[in-house]
Amino acid sequence: MEGEERRRKKEKGGKGKQIDEAKQKFVLKTAKGTRDINSKQMMIREKVLSVIVSCFERHNAVTIDTPVFELKETLTGINGEEFKLIYNLKDENGEQLSLRYDLTVPFARYLAMNNITNIKRYHIGKVYRRDNPVMTRGRYREFCQCDFDIAGQYDPMIPDAECLRIVYEILRELDLGDFRIKVNDRRILDGMSAVCGVPDEKFCTICSTVDKLDKMPWEDVKSELINKKGLSEDVADQIGEYVSMQGGLDLAEKLLQDPKLSQNKQACAGLNDMKLLFVYLQCFKITDKVVFDLSLARGLDYYTGVIYEAVLCQTLQPEVPVAGDRAGVNAGSVGSVAGGGRYDGLVGQCDSKGRTVPCVGLSIGIERILCILEQKAKTSAEKIRTTKTQVLVASAQKNLLEQRLKLTNELWDAGIKAEVLYKKNPKLLTQLQHCEETGIPLVAILGEQEIQNGVVKLRNVATREEVDVSRDQVVEEIKRRIINL
């Protein structure tokens, strides 16, 4: 029996050793292309989202939500070449599921399922792409998108112009520096491809290559068109002549006189709508920020008309790597921060009856915006508040915990964001330092003398000004003061 007991202890000890070794080999980290967001980053994020939501609501949009995963056939049947970037799942019951790639396809499915033909909506949520992440430039596999869409049958280009105005308002209010909104039309691209000699079956794949012009020089794009997409050098050169053109209303009028494009029905329809769009953009006074750019293609197959993309004119500055980063931010363009377009046929693809619901929308990719704002915050002397506490209830002497808790409770009942330190007898200096470190603007101080006199001492943390307020008036006085802080 003793021998058996020793054997059990030995086996138990051996297993414990194996577990310890396994723990040593296990490294805690986030999955590739994802990140944890700390409290300072969350405060920046909340401010950005507040600006975006405020703008969406100013333009009379309602909000909806959809599941984070969809049936695989819903996503892969629509996204074209992008299907390879979709995360696929397998349900235990046998359903083939995929994580949503964007918020547009789920919106189209939502419209089709609910027989909705007219809605102006916004949707904010996370999407997932099995992409090669560049996290130092705000490119993730899991990221948040903010979408605004207008569905319904309206006169041409009025909703499209409003979407561009919304992008303009958001980027202006976020104060990210100079920016441009590039616009084009998939019908113009279709016509351009046709007159240049691109086979119809290669149109989408050619668009996905041309769409890389914001990241690659023309020579590299041309090489891909010839060597990977199978175009002749002559056809690639003709495409190159068109995609180098930029302008505004004048360019649309010029291209309508182009000997080749003017003979293409699709291109003419797109160019006439582009002229109308710029007329409306003049009414909105944003033509100084919008440029008609024939190199803009956008890779998603479901666009049918106008397309647009917003890019910042500034570049990211290099910085020293922080803990958890593989590398610091490299100097260079942050890329597009918003995009969208018209997709009149998407709802019909989701609808078994094939009903057409014209749609146009935009998407703000806030991760790249946050990348810039977080970098600015690191170099700014201004402290970022990580809480929204408005007042700390403090004590000047010992044995006043119950009085502090009662006053704190009154402030909570009044809807005031209040805090009390979790110590029975904290030093007053410690409490005041806590306010300065966390940015709490007001302190309500209770002391034996104050309690005896029926008052509370209110202290402005920034100016250090103090004033005695009647105990029964302190809640109203704090409410009055926090409005101005």
Annotated binding residue 433: no
How many C-beta neighbours within 10 Å does residue 29 have? 9
Q: How many helices (H) and strands (E) in the chain?
A: 17, 19
Annotated binding residue 129: yes
Using alpha carbons, select from 463, 381, 384, 456 the residue that is nearest to residue 418.
456
Annotated binding residue 102: yes
Give CB contacts under 8 A, 24+ apart, made by 399-402.
399/424, 399/425, 400/446, 400/447, 400/448, 400/451, 401/425
Annotated binding residue 153: no
- Give the 3-state secondary structure of residue 151: strand
Pairing of strands 142-151, 119-128: antiparallel
Pairing of strands 442-446, 418-419: unpaired
- How far apart CA 11 and CA 439 sit, in angstroms, is 56
Interhelix angle 186-196/233-243, nearest 10 degrees:
140
- Give the 3-state secondary structure of residue 110: helix
Residue 336 token pair: 């597009």
- How far apart CA 271 and CA 274 sit, in angstroms, is 5
Cα distances from 354 to residues 136, 214, 303, 361, in angstroms, run 43, 35, 17, 21
Annotated binding residue 429: no
Annotated binding residue 103: yes
Annotated binding residue 141: no
56 and 103 in contact (C-beta within 8 Å)? no
b/e map 219-247, b = 16+ CB within 10 Å: eebbebbeeebebeeebbebbbebbeeee
Contacts of 450 (CB under 8 A, 6+ apart): 396, 456, 457, 468
99 and 128 in contact (C-beta within 8 Å)? yes
Looking up tokens 């363009």 gives 333
Looking up tokens 């012009």 gives 213
Using alpha carbons, select from 106, 108, 90 the residue that is nearest to residue 98.
90
> Angle at Cα 244 formed by Cα 225 and Cα 216, nearest 5°?
50
- Give the 3-state secondary structure of residue 260: coil
**Residue list for the binding site for L-histidine:** 102-104, 129, 145, 149, 298, 302-303
**Residue list for the binding site:** 102-104, 129, 145, 149, 298, 302-303
